[in-house]
Every structure is written in structure tokens, then in C-alpha cells.
Amino acid sequence: MQGPTPLQGTVRMAGAKNSALKLMAAALMVPGEVILERAPRITDVELMADVLRRLGATVERDGDTLTIDSSGDLQEETPYELVRKMRASIQVLGPLLARLGRARVSMPGGDAIGSRPIDLHLGGLERMGVKFTSQHGYIEGVVQRLKGTRVLLEFPSVGATENLLMAAVLAEGTTVIENAAREPEIQDLATFFQACGARVSGAGTPTIEIEGVEELSPTRHRIIPDRIEAGTFAIGAVASRGDVTLEDMEPIHIELPLQKLEEAGAEVRRSADSVRVRMSSRPRAIDLVTLPYPGFPTDLQPMMMVTLAQAAGSSILTENVFEARFLFVDELNRMGSHIRVEGHHAVIRGVERLSSAPVQVPDIRAGAALVLSGVCAEGVTEVYDGGHIERGYEDFVGKLGSLGADVEVRD
């Protein structure tokens, strides 16, 4: 890609990846047709469709709509070959235990952003009566009938909250999840379950209460817009000193990122389902800390790093959620940034302009950030292993192109 180009124009947001994946897993608990609208066209959704098919469901796509039918007999095993490609496959654990009373799921390993254990998922499910054994890289869970209980999470893990919520919906009695994650994707999952006849309250707060029901009924659900995609383009507008309007999105879901962009000098105009972000000068240096929602999302930290790398002054960025999310800094420094990492803090000394260099993508979000840095940098930037980006962003290159970026994909 050739830079520097200010991103200018309007982009429409796709459905949220991290909601779609969990809603697809949840569909395993519904004996009948679940229809999910605004399903993003990304590789991870296709991978989750493969997981569901492997478990015995049918999944069909018609445009942006997915139809999932899990009324047939389901299998209990999710093999290594699928979990290895996408760790969100472990979100079928709760649904399989709820539906079949047993599940055998390959243990996910670490990945490019950290070690990522699942102890909180397993600990909570054990409290609901599941007996786990692990052998040959697989974790096997068995339970007669899941029992409602109180679970206090040590950390508000998104994945653990979702697995427990899914298990609790069909459990006997009432489950209370305390210190639950509050991400909008959790609320979306709860809204879906309510439409299926489940009794869930408090999603979006630290205490979620679920009264188990005997069976769920099929429903049609529209997936919330992707707040991380929206945040990526909003930050891209600021990093490239452009003017971008985001449409079909929920401004409130990215309120803190928008406030931080304002602090850095951006002009932000919010309306009911769109936001316009304009930046005409070099960003100001700001400090930033990632935290669970409604804190600043770790998934937008790499893009913010690209922005602050070009700011006037020095910034400190603290990563509290994933230990290895600074690994891509070495790639960014190859493009002329001055960033020093000390533990979970990054000290960023802003430079006037980044300069192009060939760079390698380690994961979805760092990938999007490196492409944005290519848009901002002088000269032609080659980004290798860009396939990671398609896992989580629908038509990223096409959308950037529509905003004026000179980006092309080569095999």
C-alpha cells in the first residue's frame, strides 16, 4: 500500500465478530432453526460454522443471514484441528454440557497475544456440577444435570462469563455470576436467550442472574454492530488525519475510545447510529490504560499505538488484559516509531511521520493496526500474513479503498 493518505468518506459497520461467534455456539442449545441477521463475512464465522457442522448442526448463509439448525443428534467432540484454528471454538463447551450433559473439547493453547488459560471457565462449570478430566490435550466434561449456583469470577473474563451464562440458561435452578464481564457482546447473547424464552437479568452489569428453563425455542436475532471495527476506523481517521463517518453502529459502545480521540485533538460528532471523526492536525500525546468494558478495549490498543506513535510528545500506554499484546511493537518500530516496552507499559515518543517498511502480521488486531500505519507512512508498505485480518474484519481492504487508501491484496 502507498501512503500517506488521509482516510475520507463513509463506511458501514458489519455485525460484531465476537457476538456472532458466541451466538452461533448458543444456537447449539436450541432444537430448531435459529436465524442470525447481520452475520459478518469473515473467516472466523466460517470456522465456527465448520465447528457447528462437525458437531451435527446445519449452517447455511444467505447474504448476511445465517440459518442454524441444531435439531438433529449432536456429537460431543470438538477436535484439535478446529480449536487450533480458532480458540473461540471452546465457547461450545457450555452449550454442549447444557444440551448433552457431556463435552470433549481440545484444550486451546496460547496464541500471539498471550497464554490465555481457561481455568475460570472450568472452575465455574465445576461449581455447576460438571466433572472434568483432561487427557491427551483434550478436556472432557460430564454432568447429569447442570445445577444453578453462585460463581464469583476472579477476573471479568468475557469467554468465561459467556460459557457460564450459556450453561446456566438450561440448568436446574438459579445461577448468579458475580464480577461478570460487561461487554456489549454479553448483553447481545442475553438478549438472544431472552428471545428464546430464557430468564436472564443483569447482563451488562457485574451481576447476572439466570433462572434455568427446560427448553429454548427458535428465534430470529439481529447481531449488534462491531464496535471494534468501528473503533478501528475511528482511530484510523485520527491517525491518518482524515475525516470518516461510521454508519450503522452504536456510538455508546465506543464512548471511551471516542473520548480518548477527543483528548488527542480529534473532533467527534455523535448521532443515534453514526459518528463522524475528523482530525486536521498532528495528534496530541495522551496516556491510555486498557481495561475490561467499559474501559478502553485491548482490541483497539494496537491502533491507538499507531496514532500515538505519530503524536506530538510522549505517551504511556498500559496493557492490562493480554500479556503479549505488545509483540507487534517491534514491527511498528521498523516503520520508524520510537516505542520502548517495559513490562505491560509502552513508552511512545511520537515522531512526525512513519516510514514504510515490510512488516509481518501476528494477529487480527495488530494486523489492522499495521495496515493503518501503512496508510499513514511515507512510501510503499508491504504487510505479510494479512490473512489474519480477514478473520475479523469484513472486506477491510475494500472499505479502506472506499475511504481513499491505496491498498491492494497480493497472493
Q: Which residues bind ligand EPU (CB under 6 A)?
A: 17-18, 21, 88, 114, 116-121, 155, 157-160, 181, 297-299, 321-322, 364-365, 392
Question: By the 8 A CB rule, do 185 and 18 touch?
Answer: yes
232/274 with CB nearer ligand EPU: 232
9/110 with CB nearer ligand EPU: 110
Question: By the 8 A CB rule, do 242 and 58 touch?
Answer: no
155/217 with CB nearer ligand EPU: 155
Asked, as a colleague might, if the bond just before 4 is cis with ω within 30 of 0, I would say yes
State the distance between the two ends of the chain, measured CA to CA, in whole angstroms.
14
Measured N-to-C along each axis, helices 227-239 and 301-308 cross at an angle, to the nearest 10 degrees, of 10
| Active-site pick, 62, 64, 69, 111 | 111
Tell the smallest beta-carbon distance from residue 183 to ligand EPU (Å): 6
Q: Taking CB positions, which residue lies at the least distance from ligand EPU?
A: 159
Paired residues of 103 in beta bridges:
141
Tell the smallest beta-carbon distance from residue 323 to ligand EPU (Å): 6
Tell the smallest beta-carbon distance from residue 120 to ligand EPU (Å): 3
Tell the smallest beta-carbon distance from residue 118 to ligand EPU (Å): 5
97/266 with CB nearer ligand EPU: 97
3-state secondary structure of 162: helix
Burial class (CB in 10 A: 0-12, 13-18, 19+), 73: exposed
Active site residue 330: no
Question: By the 8 A CB rule, do 352 and 310 touch?
Answer: yes
**Phi, psi (5° rounding) for residue 389?**
-65, -35
Q: How many helices (H) and strands (E) does the chain have?
A: 14, 24
Amino acid, res. 262: E
106/356 with CB nearer ligand EPU: 106
Tell the smallest beta-carbon distance from residue 82 to ligand EPU (Å): 14
Catalytic positions: 111
